[in-house]
Amino acid sequence: MFGFAAGQSLESANDCASKPHAGRQKMNHAAGSLCPEIQRAENQHGPVFFLHKETGVHMNRIMVLLALASVASPGVAQKVRVDYDHGCHFSRYKTYHWVDLQRAQSPDVQFPNQLMQERIVGFVEEALAAKQFTRVETGADLLVGYVMNVSAEPQFTTFTDAAGPVWGWGGWDGVGPSCCGRGWGGWGSAFSTTMTQAIWTGRLVVSMTDARQKQMVFQGVSTDTISSKAEKNTKRLQKGICEIFEKYPPRK
């Protein structure tokens, strides 16, 4: 920064001005003419004396890289919701039996694999056991099944390469008055590049159907992004299933 805080000797300022190639220097300080940023600095550290270079020497440009995620990208927060038959008496259900609801998916979709499917079943059974349910092979009160829907959502990321402030004598880029009359430079050109990538999202649907009436009575849905790491997917599925069954039986 071209400046000296109050309390620093003027001799040190003159020494700086006398260095080779420093250009002819002069000190300006007009009370009340400072921009808010400089005024705040003065309020904290005392008067600041700016050394203006009349020779128009520029500092090196500062390159700033900004990565901005588009608002069009899907949300990554886990979402859980449930729906149920408001006229159902859930206290009469004590046993359940598994049914296969999983549909065949595209060969490009490798989730969930067999191991993850077994984990889903295990998490559901743990949650049902905590609700005092018993798994049976025949004569069950409820038919329990799940389906995992996988979809790819585009995410747009924009990288902006901006040439930072150019410092010199004069106004913006050395032309015209500056914001504070202190010889601040301007901003250089910038360009942006937008990249698109697919974000895979999993939608787990757990359904409970009255075995006698063949009528769905409860359904829970957990939606979250799919990670490339099995450990993360396992934790997300377990959390989602737990949150689903925290809402069972429904509070009417």
Answer whether residue 166 shows pLDDT above 60.
Answer: no
pLDDT tens profile 18-68: 444 444 344 344 444 445 555 665 565 555 444 344 334 444 443 434 444
Q: Is 134 helix (H, G, I), strand (E, B) or coil?
A: strand
Output the pLDDT for position 103. Answer: 72
Cα distance between residue 107 and residue 230, in whole Å: 19
Return the pLDDT at 157.
85
Q: Is the pLDDT of residue 6 over 90?
A: no
What 3 state SS string does 147-178 have?
EEEEEEEEEEEEEEEEECECCCCCCECCECCC
199 strand-pairing partners: 153
pLDDT of residue 49: 44
Delimit the domains of the chain by residue range.
3-66+157-195, 70-155+196-246
- Which residues, in sequence order, are bridge partners of residue 87? none
| pLDDT score, position 1 | 41
Where does the pLDDT of residue 91 fall: very low under 50, low under 70, confident under 90, or very high at 90 and above?
very high
Q: Which helix (H) or strand (E) holds 246?
A: helix 230-246
Asked if 147 and 101 count as a contact pair (C-beta separation under 8 A), the reply is yes
Q: How confident is the model at residue 108 (pLDDT cuts 50, 70, 90)?
A: confident
- Confidence at residue 73, expressed as pLDDT on a 0 to 100 scale: 42
Tell me which long-range contacts 124-132 makes (C-beta under 8 A, separation of at least 24).
124/206, 124/241, 124/245, 127/241, 127/242, 127/244, 127/245, 128/96, 128/245, 130/245, 131/245, 131/248, 131/249, 132/94
Question: What type of residue sits at position 226?
Answer: I
pLDDT band at 158 (very low <50, low <70, confident <90, very high): confident
109-113, 227-231, 248-252: which has the highest mean pLDDT? 227-231
DSSP state for residue 55 in the 8-state scheme: T
Q: CATH classification of 70-155+196-246 is 3.30.450.40, yes or no?
A: no
What are 225's two structure tokens? 């992004």
Nearest to 23 by CA among 61, 52, 49: 52
Averaged pLDDT, 151-169: 70
Task: Render the burial of 177-197: b for 16+ CB within 10 Å, e for the rest.
Answer: ebebebbbbbeeeeeeeeeee
CA distances from 243 to 20, 39, 200, 250 (A): 71, 53, 21, 12
d(CA 162, CA 111): 40
- Phi/psi at 139 (5° precision): 65, 30
Q: What are the backbone dihedrals phi and psi of residue 41, each rounded to the nearest 5 degrees, phi first?
A: -65, -40
Question: Chain-wide mean pLDDT for the chain?
Answer: 73
pLDDT of residue 101: 87
